[in-house]
Structure 1
Amino acid sequence: MQSKNIFLSLIFLGLSLQITSAQKVEKRLDSLILTGFGNKNEPGGVFLASKKGKIIYRKAFGKANLELDSDMTPDHVFQIGSMTKQFTAVAILMLEQQRKLSVNDAVSKYIKDYPSGGKITIHHLLTHTSGIKDFTKMKALSTIAQKEMKPEMMVDFFKNEPVDFAPGEKFEYNNSGYVVLGYIIELVSGQTYEDFIKKNIFEKAGMNHSYYATDRQLIPKRASGYHQKEHGFVNKTVISFSVPFSSGSLMSTVDDLLKWQQALNQNILLNPSETKKAFQKYTLNNGEEFTYGYGWHLKDINGTPDREHGGSIFGFKSMGVYIPDEDIYVIGLSNCDCHSPTEITRNMAKIVLQAGKK
């Protein structure tokens, strides 16, 4: 009887320590986030942290809409900007898995008249090593920013610009490459990029609150986007989402992005060999390794390898960090491009990682 009581006491002690530890982590995360998202009357954000698929932190801060004075909730939908590139990269690998293309194929196989398209491969586009001109750095961008652009028109907009370097010569982050990838997805699949992502990724992963961005369609729980000016906040600049297209036009929630990460972990979307291609480091022509796979930066947090990517588009910023060794995923979404979740999200991942090692 006495040994049973000791056993129960040990169980209760263990549970008590776990609860205390979880509360300490929550307080540290709260304190960290409030440094950048502490004003309840400003645009805000949503942050989520999970470990081994279990949510350990999920909170909203600030306002989802200033004009309606509506508070942010963890369910709100945000534009995720360049986190879109993860979905574009996986879509390409899905088509490779279906043997409809190869990442070693030349761009000219699909876009016949692309300048130097015989030397630029899909792999170069995926890894930002193509050397083609990034359309976001072109002065003429303002002339098309609010026009409805077909993918072919977007490619035509930048394809004849002088290249910045020879394919494979260096790594330089490039939005144009991912627009070309979106166009190739459409040409190979026979579907629009929007339909391909919806049917092959969102629906398979159960991401019921993720969308190709639109200002016309009604999106339940959509967070409004803002800029901050000297005199205060203003509504985000209007752009045509056909311009960023497959480089930055998706919308999602923190819960759906956790489903996305789990779908990748569980090989729901890709087999292990294709998945591995997204998360391995590659080398330049001179043999030098760089820290980008297909759609993810491959870095580390305190020496522990991670996969991460942020996004920035008018009125919104996003950041996601995944630590594969510990199955830790942290995501931060902001509805003002004045409030960056990047460092906060990385520091959240550090806190969760440290707590797990104690």
Structure 2
Amino acid sequence: MKSKENQKIQSGKRKVTKSLTKTLERNTESGEAKGKGKTEPSNLDPIFPFRIIFVFFFTLLFQCQSSGDTSLSNTKATKNKIHKEILSRWETLSPSSIQSISYLYMMGDGETHSGQIGNLSSGKRYRFKIGSITKLFTGISILQLQDAGKLKLDDQVSKYLPEIKSMRSKKVGYREITIRDLLTHQSGLPSDLAHGFFLPPDSTEEEILKSFRSLPKSVSNLERNEPGKIHSYSNLSFGLLGNIIERASGESIEGYFKKHIFEKAGMKETTLLEFLRESNLIPGYSGLFWKTQTIRPVIRDLTAGSISTTGEDMGLFMKAFFKSKQNKGLLSAVSFAEFHKSQVGPKANFEMKLGLPVLKNHYEVDGKTIWFYGHSGSLPPFFADLIYDPKTEIVSFVVGNTLGLQTGNLKGRNTEIMELLWEEKMGIRPEPILSNLSEKKETVFGEEGYYISPMGIHEYKKGIPPKLSLMGFDVGLIEKENRFGIDLRVLFGLIPIRDPKIDAMRVEFEVWEGNSIFTLYDKELPKGAAGIGVKFTPDNRFPDEMYFGTFFTKEPFAIIPKLKLEKDKRGFPLLTIYYELGGMENFIQVPCQWESQNTLRILGYGRNLGETFTLGIKNERPFLFYSGGEYEAP
């Protein structure tokens, strides 16, 4: 006899089957309508909502044999419909815009469904780079070593990497950095060590490992900020974690991953390094309209983002990972729980919750809160996304090999599929929750002036409505729920842009540690995940005129090929940092403050903010020293 709870679930499943059928019919109709001239609602990137304006203006088991077993027949039919729906959603992105996609999904019944679509989808199997999803494997390795008694999460990093003691501190009296700090991106270390990040595409495994093992020594010339003060995403931290894994285990990093994760899970087509006989790394492509094949991305910070794998292997990984709940998988049950536990983070994290190191997003189901876990990975031109629920064991994963206008849609589409799978399994649709309403009786307006965040420089102007610049465009702020919603208009402010992603955005002003700040977030981007915008006041102090201009590095395959220092008319030195990623160039502009005769500090808190660069003369020409590398004037 079924319990009431099971009866409820089964009843819900019958309802959702009808709902799903209607959903599929609607999707089919919309697809047909699309061919008749109707347009499909835009699907803008929910993880990086700040790109919305940029994108807008620059338009990335078996078959049942018994006709009497209707329950099994219905289940099979429903699974087939779901599979067709998922494929159709991925096929809208490939092959026209994204050359190839590898995917994996699990519906909580122990079965895995995976495949590859697009170019090179037949014949030999190809691996894809999954970028920062590698960080989950690094976190699992650290917890395995804790299970084995070889380290503890709250050990000081200097116990394993004594080189870190040679780093300069911004201020005297900072506490020691712990392994947990590294795992949760709150170590106070620089976000990256740009110099040497990308290696030549023909690098041998020996050369890659030598570079990887040089990281601890390379930090000696860097400055560290206060640990535990603010979340600042750091690839450097995870490169150092990989070195801790080697030193604590006594094994090479590739050997450790292979023995303790890949082989244990049965993953035969996955590698941390670059070469594997069983499969090839698929070529990558980039371009807004015409796609060009890019060089193979090889990075020094292996444990921050170097794994390449297939959808099938990711299914094997997730199955082995879930078995940890019974102490039969990759971790002990205790460590599996710790991996997903909300870690204590800086106050500036606000609503953002991190595991070790998964990002947690909360949803509402029947008045109750549930959590989805996951991580994205970007090693251009590759982009990957993983979302899962460790309780139901529902998973959706995707990776593409093309950097272009459709790239950002991979994350949004993967979220849609995860929600669809969860609804089919549990009988009810999960709804993202907007961050908790502030306990304020009225909207708090910010202070007029300039703000700096990981997105760049923003100006806030009071008015009706007040305006805030995002990505170089002024958007109106409309009071909603004791904070602000965004009003985006084009063509001289005459035409409003109506999009659910824009409508869901919220801007909130408040005071943090005596500073006026703002946060930008929505239902799928927890408050604090994008960092904070901190008000700053220009002081009109500038270095010597000789240091203004463009500076270039001689480093081949540099992630930052050039820097530009200008005297901004608003009253501060302005640094433009140019990034070369996957064959395409991007940049961010940040305000600086002149600290001494030869040192400037980038203002703000968060990724690539709060760091210093120095000025000097070499061969009678000015140069800048930034993120471990020298940049010379032409």
Determine if the TM-score, normalized by the shorter chain, exceeds 0.5.
Answer: yes
Give the CA deviation at 1:275.
1.5
Distance 1:353 1:218, change over 3 A: closer
Q: Secondary structure at the match of 1:326?
A: coil
Aligned to 1:6: none
Q: Secondary structure at the match of 1:135?
A: coil
Written as runs of structure 1 = structure 2, the 5 A alignment for 1:238-253 is 238-241=296-299, 243-253=300-310
State whether residues 322 and 393 of structure 2, in contact with CA within 8 Å, keep that contact through their aligned partners in structure 1: no
Aligned to 1:206: 266
- Would you say 1:60 and 2:116 are equivalent positions? yes
Distance 1:105 1:73, change over 3 A: farther
Aligned to 1:228: 286
Aligned to 1:309: 375
Aligned to 2:494: none
State whether residues 329 and 349 of structure 1, in contact with CA within 8 Å, keep that contact through their aligned partners in structure 2: yes
Aligned to 1:100: 150
Q: 1:23, 1:33 → 2: CA distance?
A: 16
Can you give the 5+ residue segments of structure 1 that lack an aligned partner in the other structure? 1-8, 65-70
Bigger relative CO (Cα 8 Å, ≥ 6 apart): 1
One-letter code aligned to 2:391: D
Give the CA deviation at 1:197.
0.7
Aligned to 2:246: 186
Aligned to 2:355: 293
Aligned to 1:67: none
Aligned to 2:341: 280
- Would you say 1:324 and 2:390 are equivalent positions? yes
Aligned to 2:295: 237
State whether residues 126 and 282 of structure 2, in contact with CA within 8 Å, keep that contact through their aligned partners in structure 1: no
One-letter code aligned to 1:259: L
State whether residues 299 and 307 of structure 1, in contact with CA within 8 Å, keep that contact through their aligned partners in structure 2: yes
Q: CA RMSD in A?
A: 2.7
Q: 2:112, 2:243 → 1: CA distance?
A: 39
One-letter code aligned to 1:235: Q
What CA deviation, in whole Å up to 9, does each residue of 1:1-33 have, x standing for no partner?
xxxxxxxx9953323332332233223212322
State whether residues 46 and 254 of structure 1, in contact with CA within 8 Å, keep that contact through their aligned partners in structure 2: yes
One-letter code aligned to 2:129: Q
Question: What TM-score comes out, normalization by structure 1 length?
Answer: 0.84
Give the CA deviation at 1:53.
4.8
Q: Secondary structure at the match of 1:46?
A: strand
One-letter code aligned to 1:297: L
Q: Please say which of residues 125-134 and 301-310 is displaced more in the overlay.
A: 301-310
Distance 1:301 1:11, change over 3 A: farther
Aligned to 1:50: 106
Pick from 194, 218, 240 the counterpart of residue 157 of structure 1.
218
- Would you say 1:23 and 2:80 are equivalent positions? yes
State whether residues 284 and 296 of structure 2, in contact with CA within 8 Å, keep that contact through their aligned partners in structure 1: no
Aligned to 1:81: 131
What CA deviation, in whole Å up to 9, does each residue of 1:306-333 have, x standing for no partner?
1111111133221111112321011112
Aligned to 1:345: 414
Give the CA deviation at 1:174.
1.1
Q: 2:90, 2:331 → 1: CA distance?
A: 34
One-letter code aligned to 1:264: F
Q: Secondary structure at the match of 1:77?
A: strand
Q: Secondary structure at the match of 1:211?
A: coil
Written as runs of structure 1 = structure 2, the 5 A alignment for 1:123-202 is 123-135=180-192, 138=194, 140-141=195-196, 145-146=199-200, 148=207, 149-163=210-224, 165-202=225-262
Q: 2:424, 2:123 → 1: CA distance?
A: 26
Give the CA deviation at 1:150.
3.0
Q: Secondary structure at the match of 1:47?
A: strand
State whether residues 225 and 315 of structure 1, in contact with CA within 8 Å, keep that contact through their aligned partners in structure 2: no
Distance 1:284 1:74, change over 3 A: farther
Relative to its length, the structure with more strand (as a share) is: 2
Q: Please say which of residues 106-115 and 11-20 is displaced more in the overlay.
A: 11-20
Distance 1:219 1:123, change over 3 A: same
Instruction: Give the total of aligned pairs.
Output: 336
Q: 2:370, 2:95 → 1: CA distance?
A: 30
Give the CA deviation at 1:60.
2.1
Give the CA deviation at 1:351.
1.0
Pick from 262, 270, 295 the counterpart of residue 319 of structure 2.
262
State whether residues 46 and 73 of structure 1, in contact with CA within 8 Å, keep that contact through their aligned partners in structure 2: no
Distance 1:141 1:151, change over 3 A: closer
Q: 1:99, 1:347 → 2: CA distance?
A: 40
Question: Rg bigger for which structure?
Answer: 2
What CA deviation, in whole Å up to 9, does each residue of 1:127-179 have, x standing for no partner?
1111200226x4x357x64374433422333453233x411112221111101
Q: 2:72, 2:307 → 1: CA distance?
A: 41
What CA deviation, in whole Å up to 9, does each residue of 1:232-266 have, x standing for no partner?
2222234433x121111111111211111111211
Q: 1:237, 1:314 → 2: CA distance?
A: 10
Q: 2:297, 2:343 → 1: CA distance?
A: 34
Q: 1:57, 1:257 → 2: CA distance?
A: 10
Aligned to 1:68: none
After TM superposition, the runs of 4+ consecutive aligned structure 1 residues lying more than 4 A away are 72-75, 285-289
Relative to its length, the structure with more helix (as a share) is: 1
Q: 2:123, 2:107 → 1: CA distance?
A: 21
One-letter code aligned to 2:278: P
Identity level (%): 23
One-letter code aligned to 2:362: D
Question: What TM-score comes out, normalization by structure 2 length?
Answer: 0.49
